[in-house]
Amino acid sequence: MAKKKHKKTLVEQILDKADIAHIGMEINALEGEKPDNVLEDDIYKTLALIGNNTGPVIGIIPITQHLSYKKLATASGNKKVAMIPLKDLQKTTGYIHGANNPVGIWQTKKFPIFIDTIAQDKEFMIVSAGEVGKSIQINPQELANFVNAEFADLIE
């Protein structure tokens, strides 16, 4: 029986076109599903917030950590930030809960993106590929360069 072909997400197609190395993966972090060889600390969540000065802002942190709103506000030039309400998420970012990803958001919205500094020391990080259950493994610095992200201390 032939192996089922991996259907690439739009995010993977964008990265392919830009010649950025990545690996497509089937991970549903919302359900706690991950391959045995993947550590939870390697999986990152893409959080969409709204700042009082900048409007939407994106924070990327390990799924095992909690975002410091105060630190993200400071890094992004806001006095305060708050999570975008779930009912407004898709119309703001273009993605549903669990599918937000820095590549797609940057390509379509150009929102400021901040990645926690802990990722700088890693060989790779895993972020959503734009669909629930689909992720990409990518070098943090290459991702940051591609989406114009800044590294900042974002964890509580």
The pLDDT value recorded for residue 39 is 85
The model's pTM:
0.93
Contact criterion met (CB below 8 Å) for 22 and 134 = no
What pLDDT, in 10s, does the model give residues 30-75? 666 667 778 888 999 999 999 999 999 999 999 999 999 999 999 9
What does the alpha-carbon distance between residue 95 and residue 50 come to, in Å, rounded to a whole number?
15
